[in-house]
Every structure is written in structure tokens, then in C-alpha cells.
Amino acid sequence: MKYPHSLSSYRLFLGALFSLFALFSLPATVALADAPEFIDAQANFEQGLRGDKDASKKAYEGFSKLVKEHPDNPLYLAYMGSNETIFARDDWLPWRQIKNLDKGLDHLDKALAMLGPEHDDQYERLSVISIETRLVALTTFINVPGFANRFQDAKDLFAETIEQTVFPKAPPEVRQRVYLQGADIAAKENNTADEIKYLKKALSVRPDGFYAEQIRKRLQESEQESAHD
């Protein structure tokens, strides 16, 4: 795909992307799809989000291996796709940026297309695979540059995710992050009312969680802005 705008701004892309490794510092449990290598790959993925290119390469190697060994697991494919968009962020060559961006988004689309009822009953680190797969795609779609034309996809995916019957079974940390994506979507549309609504939902599911203070601060600022409108 040929994009009409410069990709130089893409280097800022994942600055706001989520910290899933910190998010899922949860006790182990019996799960249908757990793979020990996933923890290592995700740890490297987290470091890659912070700008560590070597860690991004290690994460990609880990996710690629997992995808080959578990081709029916959409979560591993989703992470691999998101990792490829990090390569696009970090590369200086426009043609490679475009190649990695397209490849990453294509893999995310395929991961979403793979989702079936069986993934509602499969878990990774206490997290429902069907919901976390959507969360990885949702957060990536929101944060890729506008010229990738994924904002509407993000809106649709957010609405779909919170309507899933299995959504309440997801860990509160996961539901909190999903609601925060809803708040980010609302903010991008200057919809302060919805931003406040989803910030409140995010806070309510985990009022003492990792992001609680940040959410409270943002909620207060949004409410003050709304009061002046």
C-alpha cells in the first residue's frame, strides 16, 4: 500500500501504547493455551515499546516461533503483528516502514478473523484470549498514524469488544485497558462526555490498579474541561 503522507511522524507512534507486560503481572493458572515462551516474548515486546530495538527483534523472534508452533492461537499472531508495527516506527527507510506497517496490520486483521467461540474459553495468564487479542489490535489501531485509516476500525472493534458476552470474565486489568481505549477514541473525537464515561468505567473496574492515579487525574481534567464548555 502506498500512503500519501510522510512516515517521519511514525517514530512517535507507540509512545502511548499500553504496557501489557506490567498489566499482566498476575499469578499463573491452569490454562488451555499457555506457552512459557510467551512470557519472555512479551517481556521483550514491552522493552521494545520503550524503544529497545534489540528487544523488539527478540520479541519478534519469540512471537514468530510461537505462531509457527501454535498456528491456531490468534493472540500470538496479534502480538507478532503489533511487533511489526514497532519495526515500522523504528525504521528510518520509508519503504521498510510501509512494508512493516502493512504486514503488521495485515497480521492483526488475520488474528481478528481467526477468533471463534473456542477462544472465549482459552486463557493466557488468566486473560481470555479472545478479549486480549482484540485489545492488542484495538490499541494498535488507535495509535497508528491517521494515514493508515484504522481509526474507524478501532471504533468498531471497541464497540464489539465491550459487547462480547465473555468480556466480564476478562481480568479487571484487561477491561480497564479496553475502557481506556474507549476514552482515547472519545478524546480524539472531542467527545468529552464519552471520554468521562469510559474513564469512570475504567476506574470502577480497578480503582486501586496500576493506572488508577493516572486515570483519576485525567478524569478530573476532563470533568473540569466539560464544566467550562
Residue 42 and residue 155 in one domain: yes
Question: Where does the pLDDT of residue 210 fall: very low under 50, low under 70, confident under 90, or very high at 90 and above?
Answer: confident
Q: Is residue 2 part of a domain?
A: no
Residue 136 and residue 188 in one domain: no
Residue 82 and residue 156 in one domain: yes
Residue 118 and residue 196 in one domain: no
Residue 154 and residue 191 in one domain: no
Which pLDDT belongs to residue 87? 87
Number of domains in the chain: 2
Residue 16 and residue 57 in one domain: yes
Give dist(CA 101, CA 88) in Å, integer: 5
pLDDT digits (tens, 9 = 90+) for 171-187: 999 999 999 999 999 99
Q: Is residue 96 part of a domain?
A: yes
Domain assignment of residue 54, given as a range: 8-160
Residue 88 and residue 41 in one domain: yes
Q: Final residue of a domain: which of 111, 129, 160? A: 160
Which pLDDT belongs to residue 36? 80
Question: Where does the pLDDT of residue 139 fall: very low under 50, low under 70, confident under 90, or very high at 90 and above?
Answer: very high
Q: Final residue of a domain: which of 109, 134, 160? A: 160
Residue 212 and residue 178 in one domain: yes
- Low-confidence winner among 14-18, 42-46, 107-111, 142-146 (lowest mean pLDDT): 14-18
Residue 46 and residue 154 in one domain: yes
- Low-confidence winner among 7-16, 56-65, 98-107, 133-142 (lowest mean pLDDT): 7-16
Q: Is residue 166 part of a domain?
A: no
Residue 71 and residue 138 in one domain: yes
Q: Is residue 74 part of a domain?
A: yes
Q: Is residue 99 part of a domain?
A: yes
Residue 120 and residue 195 in one domain: no
